[in-house]
Amino acid sequence: MKENTASSTAYTVLQGLIYIAKCTEHRYLVPDEMYRLGEQVLLASDEGRKRLAELDKPAIGIKTAIREFIFLPGITLHYILRKRCIEEKTREAIAGGVTQVISLGAGFDSLAYRLSCEFPDVNFIEIDHPDTQKFKENAFDQADTVSTDQANLSYLSVDFTHQNIESRLQGFAAFDSSRPTLFISEGVTMYLTEDEITHMFQSMRNLAGVGTKFLFTALEPRESPRNNTRLALFLYLKLIGEPIKWSMEAPRLGAFLEKQGCVLHSVDATDEFKSRYLRSGHQPRLHHGEYVAMAEFQ
> What does the pLDDT look like over 65-124, one tens digit per residue?
999 999 999 999 999 999 999 999 999 999 999 999 999 988 899 999 999 999 999 999
Whole-model pTM? 0.93
Task: Judge whether 253 and 267 are in contact, CB under 8 Å.
Answer: yes
Cross-strand pairs, 181 = 100
- Dihedral sign for Cα 84, 147, 140, 190, please: negative
Banded model confidence at residue 146, pLDDT cuts 50, 70, 90: low
Looking at 56-150, list the stretches that DSSP marks H as alpha helix, in order from N- to C-terminal side: 60-70, 75-95, 111-118, 130-142
Q: What angle (nearest 5°) sits at the alpha carbon of residue 125, between those of residues 207 and 42?
A: 145
Query: Which residues, other chains included, contact 32 with Cβ-Cβ below 8 Å and sequence gap of 6+?
Result: none
d(CA 250, CA 228): 15
